[in-house]
Amino acid sequence: MSLPNFLIVGAMKCGTSTLLGYMRQHREIHMAPRELHFFDRDHHYRRGIGWYEKQFASAPQHRAIGEKTPAYCFVPQAAERIHQHLPDVKLIWIFRDPVARAYSNYWHFLRRGDERAVRDPFERRHRGHARVGRDTPRLRRGPPALRHRRPIGAVETSA
């Protein structure tokens, strides 16, 4: 059986799904059928590397084997696990302008019903709804679209 030789990671709304679609069109590339979350979720990782390898059982004839799970860039133990099991794997890390990403994420949450549309960001405060004490922790966290997890950091390598 085969394991991936590349992983697609990156934040939500950065184009990882678009890239996945392009990769699937290439006849020499095999992509996992969905986000596997093997390295970032303990309950999946406990299934063992054998379970992960079975997800790529139809891949041996392909030149490149990949998986797209953007969340791998947010979970510190994912980097360690990836290095342990796939030490030579290539990472395709997608970045996007943070303001454009947050704006896109806001509209994504709005369409899902997870975010309330606000015409004027100060509208609620002006109406007296934001009260110091009860609402202060929520206001400090900011709107859900901006509360995305932060990447674990980049690793520099020397040539």
Instruction: Give Cβ neighbours of residue 139 (< 8 Å, ≥ 6 apart).
Output: 130
Residue 3 DSSP SS3: coil
Residues 90 and 18 both lie in one domain: yes
Enumerate the β-bridge partners of residue 65: 30
Is the pLDDT at 40 greater than 90? The verdict is yes
- Is residue 73 in some structural domain? yes
CATH number at residue 32: 3.40.50.300
Instruction: Give Cβ neighbours of residue 116 (< 8 Å, ≥ 6 apart).
Output: 110
Which of 94, 110, 137 terminates a domain? The answer is: 94
Give tens-digit pLDDT for 99-124.
Answer: 887 888 788 778 877 766 665 454 44
- Is residue 159 in some structural domain? no
pLDDT given at position 143: 52
- Is residue 158 in some structural domain? no
**Domains in the chain, number:** 2
Mean pLDDT, residues 57-69: 85
What domain range is 107 assigned to? Answer: 98-146
Is the pLDDT at 88 greater than 70? The verdict is yes
**% of the chain at pLDDT higher than 90:** 40
Q: Token pair for residue 147?
A: 């509360």
**% of the chain at pLDDT higher than 70:** 69
Query: Cα(133)–Cα(145) distance, rounded to whole angstroms?
Result: 23
> How long is the chain?
159
E runs forming strands in 23-141: 29-31, 64-68, 90-94
Residues 124 and 84 both lie in one domain: no
Enumerate the β-bridge partners of residue 90: 6
